[in-house]
Structure 1
Amino acid sequence: MTKFIKKYLTITIASFIFGAGISLFIDPNDLAPGGASGLSILLSRLIPIETGTMFMLINIPILLLGVWKFGVKFILSTLYTTFMVSAATNLFKLMQPLTTQPLLGAVFGGVLVAAGVGYVLRAGATTGGTDIIVKCLRLKKPHLKTGTIFLAVDSVIIGIGGIVFGNVEAVLYSIISAVVTSQVLDMILYGRDEAKLIYIISDSSAAITERILREVNIGVTQLSGTGAYKKEEKQVIFCVVRKQIAHKVEEVVRQEDGNAFMIITNATEIYGEGYKSYFGEKL
């Protein structure tokens, strides 16, 4: 029961954040940054129906697709989310917009929409619309990030928005909003690991390994390698370290072997102990 309450409380709060982003920032600035919400904004300009209500109507056929792909249990929470987003969007529509500057609307609206969608997804539901379409696509293409797929789908709606509004600037601001949403959404869902992947080849590998384990306190893997030129056996030190403490590894290597061969690169997605759960992050 506690888990159930926590889930739906999260969904409710996230739905209101989503609705605030649409009604207080994006909609009043004539932006259509994509998704079912962007399509709702466009259609509300052509048909005298509130944006939130239009959002609910657009989702009906998409929810039927969700029932087919994910089952009734999944759709129950999504149906609740869709209703709450629709209600929140119409509710915030009664308030004055917080800004009439398109750039501010694009940035802050994009952040709020991404936060709303992100925490709904983390709660195990969707806000309907393109969320369900994206989930269907990830069944076929699981290697693609959620935010990346959203950006691709949103591009089509942004293009339509340019035709409806007849305003190139609105299209450009919508693109900014879509990019902001994509980046913030990936940050919420996948986090920012800010880690470095380091390979070290040295004649002092034993001493370097011992100091990294003791002083930096991170895991180290030793790989066996053979130099192609001299045919000499080498121990290759392999480790992943948080960006904030990567310099400690570099300092250890510098002190133990100034001639060591070291490769340092960015690690963008890390799963396992101390980082993310593989199964928990595939959203």
Structure 2
Amino acid sequence: MKNTDIKKSKLLLDYLGISIGCMIMALSFNSFFVPSKIAPGGFSGLATVLYHFTGFPIGIVTLILTIPLFSVSIKLLGAKFGLKSFYGTIFFSICIDFIIRTPPLTNDYFLASVFGGILLGIGIGFIFRFGGTTGGTDLLAAILHHYFRGIPVSTWLLILDSIVVLIAGISFRNIEVTLYSILTIYITMRLIDLILEGISYAKAFYIISDYSSQMADKIINELDRGVTTLSGKGMYTKNNKDVLLCVVNRSQVYDLKEMVRSVDPNAFVILADVHEVLGEGFKNIDKK
């Protein structure tokens, strides 16, 4: 297959993924959020508030609020990102106003916030995964992430959406709706991270010890895990140190902690989540 054909297929797949995400998002609004007056952040959340007071269509209002961000996104994030975002906004607006016209699935605030949040997180996660946004605060979050790389997109979404929830709470004068909206945002954020980063199923140990050689031998022979030695230097003591890097399954975390304690009780250990491991002993690197 030629490179041009591969690129076309990839682009088609991206737009398909964005379309699926938009439909899932529209389902979350029409089946859960709008009937319960839950505003799950974003321009669509603002549009939900406006809908209950004026009857203006949510999709059209969301589109109007989002248009000014497109010129900025195209300049900063590239034409492809801007075009995908424009498509996502247009298609989401069409879905929520015309295509996904589902009846309310529950009148319970809690169920609406939980299941609506799950669907919304899956929808936004799909869209982000395929290189787009639906405009609104998720587009604004992507722009802010461009300037502040240290803060994840999901964190920016949490900040921006919290502002929207505050506005909604004041407008509806209902503290329960506000609290359930906050729950929805948290669930949505966790689902976005899950889709973008995957499930944390492994742990990485960084071990600094004066007995690194004995430690490595014990891990290799008794735990049957590979160990990599990194070169480090303590800036306080100015002494060179070996840093052992070892990735284990969750079930082996306790065993490795006990192993480190038995060899060197004074060892310095950093334990970190690992979302994906490719290679021997874990996931096949060729597996798609």
Q: TM-score, normalised by structure 2?
A: 0.81
The answer for the alignment partner of 1:218 in structure 2 is: 226
Give the 3 Å change call, closer, same or farther, for CA 40–261 of structure 1 in structure 2: same
What one-letter code is carried by the residue in structure 1 that aligns with 2:159?
Answer: A
Distance 1:20 1:267 in 2: 36
Offset at residue 213 of structure 1 (A): 3.6
| Mapping 1:172-183, distance limit 5 Å | 172-183=179-190
Determine whether 1:261 maps to 2:269: no
Would you say 1:158 and 2:150 are equivalent positions?
no
Which of 73, 77, 86 matches 2:84? 77
- Of 28, 46, 55, 1:39 maps to 46
What is the one-letter code of the residue matched to 2:145? R
Partner Cα distance (1:144, 1:232) in 2: 33
Partner of 1:24: helix, strand, or coil? helix
Change beyond 3 A, Cα 1:250–1:103: same
Provide closer, same or farther for how the CA distance between residues 137 and 269 of structure 1 changes in structure 2, counting only shifts above 3 A: farther
1:227-238 aligned within 5 A: 237-238=244-245
Contact 1:196 1:246 survives alignment (8 Å): no
C-alpha change, 1:61 and 1:237, in structure 2 (3 Å) is: closer
Deviations 1:254-278 (A, max 9, x none): 6xx4554344443146799669xxx
Distance 1:151 1:143 in 2: 15
Match of 2:198 in 1: 191
Question: Is 171-180 or 213-222 further displaced after alignment?
Answer: 213-222
CA distance in 2, matches of 1:219, 1:92: 54
Identity %: 30
Q: Confirm or deny: 8 A CA contact 1:23 1:92 kept in the other structure.
A: no
Counterparts of 2:258 and 2:48 in 1: how far apart (Å)? Answer: 55
CA offsets 1:19-45 (integer angstroms, 9 cap, x no match): 111111111110112111101101112
SS of the residue corresponding to residue 105 of structure 2 reads: coil
- Structure 1 position 122 matched with structure 2 position 116: no
Q: Letter of the 1:155 partner, please give it.
A: S
* SS at structure 2 position matched to 1:249: helix
Q: 1:105: which partner in 2?
A: 112
Q: How many residues of Structure 1 are paired with residues of Structure 2 in the alignment?
A: 270
Query: What's the CA shift for 1:216?
Result: 2.9
Contact 1:56 1:83 in 2 (8 A): yes
Deviation string 1:108-132 (CA, Å, 9 cap, x unpaired) is 1111111111111111111111122
Q: Return the offset for 1:248.
A: 4.1
SS state at 1:261 partner: coil
Match of 1:278 in 2: none
Name stretches of at least 5 consecutive residues in structure 1 with no aligned partner: 276-283
Give the superposed CA RMSD.
3.0
d(CA) in 2 for partners of 1:128 and 1:155?
Answer: 17
